Amino acid sequence: MTCETTVSEVGATANAVPEPACSGELSWRAGDKSAVYTARAGHLDVIDAAGELEGKMFNIAYIASKVNGEDVDRRERPVSFCFNGGPGSASVPINFGGIGPKRVVPNGCGFVDAAHYEVEDNPGTLLPESDLVFLDALGTGWSFVAEGYGTERVYGLEEDARTFCRAICAWLEENGRWNSPVYLVGESYGTMRNSVLMRYLGEAGVPVAGVVMISALFDWTQNLPGNDMYFVGMMPSFAATAQYFGLVGAGVDENEWFDRASEFASCEYAPALLLGDRISEDRARAVAEKLSAFIGLPVEYLLQRNCRVSLEEFRRDLLADRGLVTGRLDMRFAGTAPLSIQNASFYFACDDPASHAIESAWYAAFRAFLHDEVGYRGPAGYRLSVWGEIGIGWRWVHDEPGVDETTVAAPNVALDIAVALRRSPTTKLMIMGGRFDAATPWWNVEHTIAQLYLPRELRDKIVWCRYGCGHMCYVDEPTLAQMTRDLEAFYRA
């Protein structure tokens, strides 16, 4: 392993002077596939349009020199820029849980043993297809905003996308990779970032070969409780969860059950909700009976709520007789109920067994890898998830392309996707998601893209991959295997 000796003198609002960049020469093997690669950790200077230092972005890059015994031609090899979302999340989950060359072995829908977790060469890594650069947004991980540079100039939808655009350009320049096909791989809020970023990169003259959206959300209005589309979008995922726990759908294939629920949501449930209190009592009861048969909650319970069930209510009440609550990121995960959950709360939303099951193991494994195999010595504190500091105050203002008025609080970044694809029709787009994801429900994503009225030649090029998993698709072993095949086909297309 090697470390550079020069260190910037620039201070930080949240970190001390960054450590020197370090790299380690490593190998990867899974089955009959192999790679030799360099893992390099360090910081990128992000310089704004006025030439001022905006911040320093921590990143770790995996650069292959050999794949399956053959030397790599880096002039043609893709490079993928990968990140999680939040806002306020570092890229550890998608790295050490998802598509990096190392991963923590999951335990199905159970908790990983905190004392004896296992790290292995990741059979689902994208490394055979592409070099990988995992970027931590400013304010997360070991990335920081420059001293004197106001965080209000960084912590926002458009500001964040511009920052990533500058960071990607800086990485391409520093590493001489301008001829490499550029891919973006974003998860969760990272898909909102991707949507704006793919347009900004195009406007900056950077061609984007492909974009991968994992557990996507594009139209924020559909995720706001109280909006009828919120309830409609949640319903198929509720149905999948109720079937998983044996309450409904006995003997029906899981995909078919989800398709039936989606059709009911679109063709019967949504029209009924749009009627509001104009709906007749007979029709309301008929809808409640069908809804109950899909999501496993009693008819009278649904009628009391005008057939509108929030995610927190569903998580709290579906398995209440078992003393359990379901997960949010992956509703197949179940944990014991908190002492008091009579009122849905932000705390309850964040108290998610799907997160608790594995995130600490990812974090520890990542830190050990940097320390032991790369030789990178970072500060003791690494900001894995700081939603409470960054996300809550996030600036959601967005100038949507083709819309004269700026949107506040509830942007629709699908319009950015449409503009980017129309300007660059050779850019490939893949959308991945799971039936059990209640953070970014699958129905909403399909609905949003359908509202763009893309030309058929663009619409038919979108690759849709729906899996039997939750928000972090790669935690599910069968999904990881299928994801690997799907991503391989996407990159080679």
d(CA 246, CA 322): 13
How do strand 33-47 and strand 22-30 relate by DSSP bridges? antiparallel
> What angle, rounded to 10 degrees, do the helices at 442-450 and 414-423 form?
50
pTM: 0.92
Distance of CA 48 to the CA centre of its chain: 26
> What angle, rounded to 10 degrees, do the helices at 189-203 and 157-175 form?
60
Give which of 187, 182, 82 is closest to 136, Cα–Cα.
Answer: 82
Q: From the CA atom positions of the chain, what is the Rg in Å?
A: 23
What phi and psi values does residue 450 have, to the nearest 5 degrees?
Answer: -65, -25
Beta-ladder partners of 2: 23
d(CA 25, CA 38): 5
d(CA 275, CA 321): 33
d(CA 408, CA 53): 27
Beta-ladder partners of 183: 80, 210
Q: For 185, what's the count of Cα atoms within 13 Å in the CB-facing half-sphere?
A: 25
Beta-ladder partners of 53: 47
Per-position b or e across 416-427, b if 16+ CB within 10 A of its CB: bbbbbbeeeeeb
pLDDT in tens, 431-453: 999 999 999 999 999 999 999 99
For the chain, domain boundaries: 2-221+358-492, 226-353
Give which of 238, 298, 299 is closest to 264, Cα–Cα.
Answer: 238
**DSSP letters of 108-164?**
TTS---TTS--EEE-TT-STTT-EEEEEPPTTSBT-EEBTTS-GGGTSBHHHHHHHH
* Dihedral-angle region of residue 401 (phi above 0 means left; psi in -120 to 50 means alpha; beta otherwise): beta
pLDDT in tens, the chain (493 residues): 666 533 333 333 444 567 778 888 999 999 999 999 999 999 999 999 999 999 999 999 999 999 999 999 888 899 999 999 889 999 999 999 999 999 999 887 778 887 888 999 999 999 999 999 999 999 999 999 999 999 999 999 999 999 999 999 999 999 999 999 999 999 999 999 999 999 999 999 999 999 999 999 999 888 776 789 999 999 999 999 999 999 999 999 999 999 999 999 999 999 999 999 999 999 999 999 999 999 999 999 999 999 999 999 999 999 999 999 998 999 998 888 765 555 555 555 566 766 666 788 889 999 999 999 999 988 889 998 898 899 888 999 998 887 777 777 788 999 999 999 999 999 999 999 999 999 999 999 999 999 999 999 999 999 999 999 999 898 888 999 999 999 999 999 9
Which class is 2-221+358-492 in CATH?
A: alpha beta
pLDDT in tens, 15-43: 456 777 888 899 999 999 999 999 999 99
> What angle, rounded to 10 degrees, do the helices at 189-203 and 414-423 form?
40
For residue 428, the tally of other CB atoms under 10 A from its CB is 18
